[in-house]
Amino acid sequence: MTSLPWVRQAGRVLALVGREVGWWVGGTGRLWWRYKLRTSLHGAATAVAWWQDQLVLIAALVIPVVALATWARGWPASYRGRLADPLARYRFARWLRREWPLLMESVGLARRVPATGHLRRGDRRRDGTEVEDGPVVESPSLDRVRWTRGQLMAWPRLLTGQTVDDVELAADRLRVAVGARRCRILPNPEVTGCSIVWSFSDPLAAPFDATVPAEDAPLGPVGWVPLGWTEDGQVWRLSITMSTLVAGSSDSGKASVTWGLLFALGPQNRAGVVQLHGIDLKGGMELSMGRPLFTRYAQTVDHAVAMLEDDARNLQARAERLAGRTRQHVQSVDEPSVVIVIDELAALIAYTTDRDLTRRAEAALSIILSQGRAVGYRVFAFLQDPRKETVKMRHLLTQVIGLRLRDREEVTMVFGDGALRHGALCHKIPHTTRGVGYVLGEDNHPIRVRAGFVSDDMIKTAAARFPAPRQIPIIIPAEPETPARRPSTRARAAARTSVGGEP
């Protein structure tokens, strides 16, 4: 039986009233539970003012509370952004200042020394406490505390004999002690001190789309391209003046970095000051959709090797032309920069069954990587397996990006010793955050970044907007004919004997 319209309407009204009453009653209960003494005193003062008929006092006590509650209920985002969150940050910073000595002792950055020498009974330590008999606890003092971009920053003053490495070793304990998602240690330029940065939310958790430049976009900067965002809210700018290795497990977001690079270079590619050479040995599954972007393109091993050998020869010829005139190439239409994009490098130099092709590919790549920077040739290589036996010339790829990796050993293979201590936790990146990774900053410390999501429609749009001015086919050189060897004397004698001749 269908219910009457007025019954449904009444049900909706009752549900709405119930939610409102629940919010107000629940909020009052939570407020009392958190601030028992203050709310009890406020309620008692209001009751006394009511009993004494002090209407002005009642208004002074009740109206601010009702106004704040109405603000929180009606405009919760504004309330949190303008009042609740700043107050919470202020309380947390005050708590950190108050509990700092205990925090330093709990994470292992304090030390106990005898109450003798420069510390005597009755003296005051730097934290204001008085020295008593027995061992004295010394801890780094706290100079400043500040909130910036939703992150809490603290500047400790290290004890004599302490180094930044000591603080880095305690980074994870510092994170857990304050309940943060991430804790970073940022050394000062002289590496004599540091700042501690706690992040309580993940600014890179939400995915975002990559950007395809507009049809009339300018050529843009020569030395770097924007690929996404850093965890500090800054634009992630990737240098294109160095050859780059991007390592990441399957489905870690390498395609976001690949196409983000190609999108950013689109205007320069269309103008002819940059040439894109692509190698996709996965049957063209990744790069073939953007085929018009590439001046040269290969999706088989023999074509890839022939293209790399051509690039190596052209590189050396350009070096001869520029020798004695300049030490650094300046890109132009006549002398364009060449960016070689290799999807799955290991398929080219490790998994190929033809040993001769592998040897030729390694030789050509070594020439390009070791000599290409000054003359405008750069390689952007992507792979899943960063082991040295897989990529022997890994040390020639001077810029490294690490996406999600399998274990700690792979992080060390990609970034080198000390990367884990400095915070490059590629093996802890969740599977749900594709495109998140780490890149080394100018101070050689890892920065957490995320590249934008790329859809098929974006690739097709970029290929239509920024096609290469010309496409150069790859010609595989014919193998030289080997002259027939003349049979040896013994072979000729054996042949005559087999037909009845004299030996």
- Our measurement of the distance from residue 347's CA atom to the centroid of its chain's CA atoms, rounded to an integer in Å, reads 25
CA dihedral 176, 440, 290, 337 (to 10 degrees): 170
Residue type, 74: G
Angle, alpha carbons 420-424-430 (nearest 5°): 115
Which residues participate in the annotated binding site? 248-255
Nearest to residue 438, comparing CAs of 195, 177, 184? 184
Would you list which residues are annotated within the binding site for ATP?
A: 248-255
**For residues 395 and 245, what is the distance between their CA atoms, to the nearest angstrom?**
10
Tell me the C-alpha to C-alpha distance, in Å, between residue 229 and each of 213, 238, 268, 322: 17, 11, 22, 37
Could you give the maximum distance between any two Cα atoms of the chain, in Å? 144
Q: Between β-strands 244-247 and 399-402, what pairing exists: parallel, antiparallel or unpaired?
A: parallel
Q: What secondary structure does DSSP assign to 192-210, as a single string? A: S-EEEEEESS-TTSS--B-
Instruction: Categorise residue 122: left if φ over 0, alpha if ψ from -120 to 50, beta otherwise.
Output: left
How many other CB atoms sit within 10 Å of the CB of residue 265?
25
202: left (phi over 0), alpha (psi -120 to 50) or beta: beta
Q: Is 237 helix (H, G, I), strand (E, B) or coil?
A: strand
